Structure 1
Amino acid sequence: MRDLRGQLATNTIRNYLTTLKTLHQYGPALTGHGLRSDPWAGKSARKASHTAKGAVVSTPAIPPEQWFPLIRSAWTYVHTFAPDILRAQQRYQELVDKATLVGDHDVRLDRYLADPTNPIPVHAEAGHNPGRVHWSLLTLMIGSDHSRRSNVFRRNMSTGGQRITRVKKAVAQGHPTTTGIIDDLVLVEHSNGTSASWHPGLDPRALGFERCMLRNACYVLVVGLSMMRDSEIHEIAPGSIVDYYGTPAIKSTKRKHDPGLPIKHWWITAPVAEAVVVAEQLSTRPDRLFPPLLRHHAAVSRSDQMLDAFTAHVNATSARTGLQQIPPGQIRPHMFRRTMAMLTDQFPGSEIALGIQLKHIASRALANHSTQGYANADGSWAGHLESAIEVARFRRLEDLYQEHKAGKPIGYGPGAEQMTQIFDDLQHSVRARAGDASVERALLRKARISIRFGVLNHCVMDENNPAGAACLENAVVPQGHKGPLHDRCRPDRCPNSVIGPEHVPIWASERRNLLTLIATPGVSTCRREALQRELSAVESVLDKTEGEKEQP
């Protein structure tokens, strides 16, 4: 259990403890007598596993300073470095397939050295005497078997020594050399303005290692961006990308809480699909997308080791790959699921989508308490999310200002009039200073315009002066709350409401729907009166659009 604490969430460990305690409790009734003793006697499974009470998910989110460099590094490997690794893998396999143990090695060597386009492989890594001939790879390149049985360049044989001398002489005379199975690797830009190959040379040893790192990068993208459980990812087989309700998805087996092991689908984005396609070309088994590439006797790869190895490799090679260093800190598979759920929850109405993608099935709209727990905000992301939201808000404000400059209406109602006045004043200031676009942008940012963009309207309420806000009338404002109360918004009569051109079709559609319902035979009097009140509010909003024509 101590080993599992570093790999699994506390809730999962609690389930294991519950099973073990149950085996002890019902031991007398079991054929094998269960467990003789309870290692956690006197403690509940919850207390022994340090599981928090309630629906709060104890799994921490991956901090943004780790998340972004990790995901970017994985994407760079999958999208940029993968073509080189796969090309080297294919070339190496071709050499192995053509190699033979028997034959005239001298003739092969002569023929190889006679062609200057055939490079002599040399070691590139500092730990292998850089510049020294890579005899094993050269054996393979001339078409001979490079196993231990090969004696092509064996030093304790006269023929082997003679061949070594000929090769060294060719190198000394300027015969072209190479540091890997293939040349022309992708170039990466460095901070000092120079560019170089991302790897010094993909020889067989380096290729095997980079294949593992590429496999690990594929895993990072799948576990990071799909919200699949680790067990579900290891059930993915090659060829599992399918079309599910018109959208690309991965099919896999859901094990948790499902004894029937049903096949489920997870919708995916383009980066995940690309990672799966690359992983399929690395997989050595027809039933596993992520099998062990070195420990062939093992059933599945150790996900925690894959993550640790990839992080360590990125940090160790960042000087040549140009990848950003990943700060130290434990990263485990279940933390990706928690992080993506938390990020997705920043979008309105995301709970149902989260419930579907996380496979939290319940009668309440396909989501349950676990869904809410996964989506809870994380303190380490607070500053980043606030900055991201502020950047997105300012970008939309800029678009609104540019539309005003172009003479287009930015909206209707008292709130729009406030915005128009602010934009007019800003334009006067820019002209008075003879400023350019950069001055204009700086003044717009300095203006600190209070605006919240919405689907049905925008709100320009000033938190420091909320007088007149309809949502605050006769309302009990929660302690510490600032800003509007969105669930009490009244676009029909609030002076802070802005009805944008993009909102008008929505309100017009609502009016048509209400008119249809009111005209429906059999509607009760009280229901019709309620619909009339709703219609009055909608028409009040549309009246502010100054005659905006309703689309049929």
Structure 2
Amino acid sequence: MRKSLIFLPAVPLAVATINASMLEIRKVMRWGREQGLPADLGLWDQEDWHEAIVHKASQVEGAKTVAFHVTAIRRLRQLAEVITGISPFDDPWGDETAEAIGAKEYDEDVPCKDTLATPSIPPETWWPLLRGAWTYIHTFAPDIFRWRNHFAQQREPRPDTPLSTSARPTPAENTDTLLEEWLSAPGNAVPVHEVDYQNTKAGTPMWTALSKMVTSGRTMNIFGSNNTSSRPQKRRAIVLAAIGEGRVAIATAGVGRGKGSTAPSYIAPGTGPGVTQEQLDDDVRRWLADPSTLVPVHTTDDHGKTGEPIWAMAARMIWGPPPLGAHRKRYAKRFDPRQRTGAARMRLLRQAVAAGRGLPVDLGVGVGWRAYRLECRDAAHIQREDGTSEPWRTQISAIELTFELHMLRAAVYVFVSALTLMRDSEVQEIQRDAVRTYFGSPAIVSRKTKMDPARPELHWWIIEPVAEALAVLEELSWHSTHLFVALAPPTGKQTHTEPGIQSEAEIDFFINGVNTIAHQHGLAKIPPAHVRSHMFRKTMSQLAGREPDSEIALGLQLKHAARRSFANRTTQAYAQMDASWAKEFDTELQQAAARKLVDLLRGRRQGERVAVGPGAARLHAGLDKVIATIDNDPQLRAQIADERVEEALLADEFPNLHLGTVNHCMFDAPQAECQDELPEEQRGLAPLIGACQPARCRNSTITRAHAPYWVAEEDDLTALSKDPRLSPPNREAVFVRLADVQRITRALEEEGTA
């Protein structure tokens, strides 16, 4: 690279950026083949490159996408010297920036180029997606964690489970320490042979028995003479020194093959007097005493075992996993019909099955005890569509629990991504104890990674439900630092512990999962839609963008750089409303307007004149029509106390009502004064708020709630009209405006109740 005079930045590009650049180059090459251009991109003329950019601009939305295309070509030009099959070529655009090229080539006739190609998530998908995620986080998570702990106990060895002599070798350093501690104990003595035995002379230490005593049965050869290491010899020397000090226990034995030895011997825990048959019986009775316990039984098979308890699975549930090595057979005999105690325990389980406490388990799926279904008596209750309340789960197996744990992790990712406006990489960089206080408000601390090699630690403000979601994820994650990791730590030969998940697969898994179990868990189905992490930022931005003075807050939350204290044009592009959400908000406003009219409807029913202004007669006529509709329909009259009925009728009667601070507008384009200020082709779409004439327009109505604003404006205009500094034209304009305002205030005074 240096020989070709190519010097790249010390900090390499992100893999995602490199991959995206390669995809752009592939598109350029494909377009070139279609145009019959040379396969060697270095042989293209400058006009060819300009045509390629023009073609790109016609295929995408947004100048920034075109600019990235230009940047990818420039990266290719930089490396052309060392790429086979591409001749070096000059920059087709000289010193012009990629942003300027994208803005120029995208569409010079469009006055605003600050749009995003990123689509938003449709509202019909957005709302059930968030509600489903929050239900998992807030309602289902406590149950999922409780069941996880229960099944974890089935995987953990019981304290009385014997260890195999071949299980988990002890490190050499720890073995030396164990030997020193054992010899330092006052009551311990080295067992030695009393008489000669085969090739062993009397007085020789019993090395195998001593190994078991020192390591609690883990190994029998810590003094092995065939070991190439010097440690066994050193350990033998230590033991012989102890014998020289008189620390000896002579093992008496009979003549011949050594039967009848009374030498000290190692007794594995769980195989001697420590675990009696009575204790095993008590374990079975204690397990069956729990009313939620169901005995696993065979389903239909070819051996006539239908309804018969699955003894190995029941043993695991009572005593934990079976041990390894020689003690496994002894464990299996705890349910042995040939032994009196084993047969008695089997009768207890069969009696429970006969009493209706059997649970069929299909072992054909090849998962053994993990197919056992636990009774979920304390599961959270959910509201069904028919108004009934039921547990969201009645039974669950270890296999199904793995699915629910995955759904919970996916729910947290969806919820946090949607409500924080963080990028995918920033969400996945969240670590433990990430919830802080920032300028007096709760916030998440994470790292901004996009195009910033320094990876600064930044803050994103959050609401309380997001903090709850992260608390759930902290309990779910096993990783020491990061939260979004694999569901289980690596085991065996697996060594990969890097944090991170595949966000695309996670989102798809959650949506598909909800749609699969929606009818069981009481969730609403999510309409199929393409949902990705960057679409959460766009959707939430346009929702937040409707709030007053939202641009600055959005710019800070989105981490958009700005050279002044206002958000830049990128933030405005994120907050730009699309058609699907505009319709959603129109419906919401229509319903809000109907709710506002309910009080006016009840006042009108009492005979009041509830509004004044040029449009008051239309409003009164519409309210009277709704009242007549209710009075003439017995079914509607019976539901007069139900506001939802009134809201529905009012929404149909006033579909274009726009609520305002100083008046309400029953928008009818031909009568609207504001439409006269617009070009002919733009009229009739929506009210023009800035050109509203509330005292003159026949669409305008003023209610009692608006009166304080009109009275205050009358006082201000009256005081202003007395200012001697006003010029005659300005004074005349004030008097004209004052006359309009007084027309309304006088009407409000005359109506009294209006």
Q: Does the aligned pair in 2 maintain the 1:26–1:34 contact within 8 Å? A: no
Select the residue among 250, 274, 289 that pairs with 1:117: 289
Question: Paired residue for 2:558?
Answer: 358
Question: How has the CA–CA distance of structure 1 residues 383 and 457 changed in structure 2, closer, same or farther, with 3 Å as cutoff?
Answer: closer
TM-score using structure 1 length? 0.76
Question: Paired residue for 1:60?
Answer: 119
Report whether the alignment pairs 1:210 with 2:416. no
Letter in 2 for 1:254: K
The number of residue pairs the alignment matches comes to: 535
| Residues 487-496 or 241-250, more deviating | 241-250
Select the residue among 349, 361, 368 that pairs with 1:171: 349
Question: How has the CA–CA distance of structure 1 residues 519 and 414 changed in structure 2, closer, same or farther, with 3 Å as cutoff?
Answer: closer
Question: Paired residue for 2:666?
Answer: 460
Matches of 1:270 and 1:535, distance apart in 2: 52
Question: Paired residue for 2:141?
Answer: 82
Higher RCO (CA 8 Å, separation ≥ 6 residues): 1
Question: How has the CA–CA distance of structure 1 residues 124 and 358 changed in structure 2, closer, same or farther, with 3 Å as cutoff?
Answer: farther
Report the CA distance between 1:57 and its aligned residue. 1.3
SS in 2 for 1:55: coil
What does residue range 190-209 of structure 1 map to in structure 2 within 5 Å? 197-199=391-393, 201-209=395-403
Matches of 1:83 and 1:462, distance apart in 2: 54
Question: Paired residue for 2:572?
Answer: 372
Matches of 1:96 and 1:257, distance apart in 2: 45
Mind listing any 5+ residue stretches in structure 2 that lack a counterpart?
A: 1-15, 24-59, 108-112, 163-269, 360-372, 491-496, 750-754
Report whether the alignment pairs 1:488 with 2:680. no
Question: How has the CA–CA distance of structure 1 residues 106 and 402 changed in structure 2, closer, same or farther, with 3 Å as cutoff?
Answer: farther
Report whether the alignment pairs 1:476 with 2:679. yes
SS in 2 for 1:146: coil
Report the CA distance between 1:487 and its aligned residue. 1.7
Matches of 2:530 and 2:440, distance apart in 1: 37
Letter in 1 for 2:142: P
Letter in 2 for 1:393: A
Query: If you compute each CA radius of gyration, which structure gives the higher value, 1 or 2?
Result: 2
Question: How has the CA–CA distance of structure 1 residues 293 and 413 changed in structure 2, closer, same or farther, with 3 Å as cutoff?
Answer: same
What does residue range 95-134 of structure 1 map to in structure 2 within 5 Å? 99-100=158-159, 101-102=161-162, 103=270, 104=275, 108-115=279-286, 116-118=288-290, 120=293
Q: Does the aligned pair in 2 maintain the 1:137–1:146 contact within 8 Å? A: no
Report whether the alignment pairs 1:146 with 2:321. yes
Letter in 1 for 2:144: I
Matches of 2:574 and 2:554, distance apart in 1: 9
Report the CA distance between 1:83 and its aligned residue. 1.6
Question: How has the CA–CA distance of structure 1 residues 474 and 67 changed in structure 2, closer, same or farther, with 3 Å as cutoff?
Answer: closer
What percentage of aligned pairs have identical amino acids?
31
Question: Paired residue for 2:619?
Answer: 419
Matches of 1:139 and 1:190, distance apart in 2: 39
Letter in 2 for 1:84: D
C-alpha distance after superposition, 1:501-543 (max 9, x if no partner): 33344455667788999999xx9867x9869957974784366
Report whether the alignment pairs 1:447 with 2:653. yes
Report the CA distance between 1:85 and its aligned residue. 0.6
Question: Paired residue for 1:326?
Answer: 526
Report the CA distance between 1:111 and its aligned residue. 1.5
Question: How has the CA–CA distance of structure 1 residues 92 and 449 changed in structure 2, closer, same or farther, with 3 Å as cutoff?
Answer: closer
Q: Does the aligned pair in 1 maintain the 2:675–2:684 contact within 8 Å? A: no
Letter in 2 for 1:279: L
Report whether the alignment pairs 1:312 with 2:512. yes
Question: Paired residue for 2:77?
Answer: 25
SS in 2 for 1:60: coil
Report whether the alignment pairs 1:284 with 2:284. no
SS in 1 for 2:745: coil
Matches of 1:540 and 1:192, distance apart in 2: 54
Question: Paired residue for 1:436?
Answer: 637
Report the CA distance between 1:173 and its aligned residue. 0.6
Question: How has the CA–CA distance of structure 1 residues 106 and 394 changed in structure 2, closer, same or farther, with 3 Å as cutoff?
Answer: farther
Select the residue among 262, 275, 279 that pairs with 2:469: 275
Report the CA distance between 1:59 and its aligned residue. 1.7
Q: Does the aligned pair in 2 maintain the 1:21–1:38 contact within 8 Å? A: no
Matches of 1:141 and 1:154, distance apart in 2: 17
Q: Does the aligned pair in 1 maintain the 2:297–2:358 contact within 8 Å? A: no
Question: How has the CA–CA distance of structure 1 residues 311 and 515 changed in structure 2, closer, same or farther, with 3 Å as cutoff?
Answer: same
Question: How has the CA–CA distance of structure 1 residues 427 and 310 changed in structure 2, closer, same or farther, with 3 Å as cutoff?
Answer: closer
Q: Does the aligned pair in 2 maintain the 1:279–1:289 contact within 8 Å? A: yes
Report the CA distance between 1:333 and its aligned residue. 0.8
Q: Does the aligned pair in 2 maintain the 1:91–1:181 contact within 8 Å? A: no
Matches of 1:191 and 1:324, distance apart in 2: 10
Aligned-residue Cα RMSD (Å) equals 5.1
Matches of 1:262 and 1:524, distance apart in 2: 57
Matches of 1:151 and 1:483, distance apart in 2: 84
What does residue range 247-258 of structure 1 map to in structure 2 within 5 Å? 247-258=441-452
Q: Does the aligned pair in 1 maintain the 2:156–2:321 contact within 8 Å? A: no
C-alpha distance after superposition, 1:244-294 (max 9, x if no partner): 455443333223344443443333344333322222221223432322223
Letter in 1 for 2:285: A
Q: Does the aligned pair in 2 maintain the 1:415–1:495 contact within 8 Å? A: yes
Matches of 1:155 and 1:482, distance apart in 2: 84
Report the CA distance between 1:214 and its aligned residue. 0.7
C-alpha distance after superposition, 1:284-317 (max 9, x if no partner): 2343232222365232111112112222322333
Question: How has the CA–CA distance of structure 1 residues 538 and 547 changed in structure 2, closer, same or farther, with 3 Å as cutoff?
Answer: same
Q: Does the aligned pair in 1 maintain the 2:477–2:483 contact within 8 Å? A: yes
Q: Does the aligned pair in 2 maintain the 1:121–1:177 contact within 8 Å? A: yes
Question: How has the CA–CA distance of structure 1 residues 429 and 293 changed in structure 2, closer, same or farther, with 3 Å as cutoff?
Answer: closer
SS in 2 for 1:228: coil
Letter in 1 for 2:350: A
Report whether the alignment pairs 1:227 with 2:428. no
Mind listing any 5+ residue stretches in structure 1 that lack a counterpart?
A: none
| Residues 147-156 or 355-364, more deviating | 147-156
Report the CA distance between 1:166 and its aligned residue. 6.1
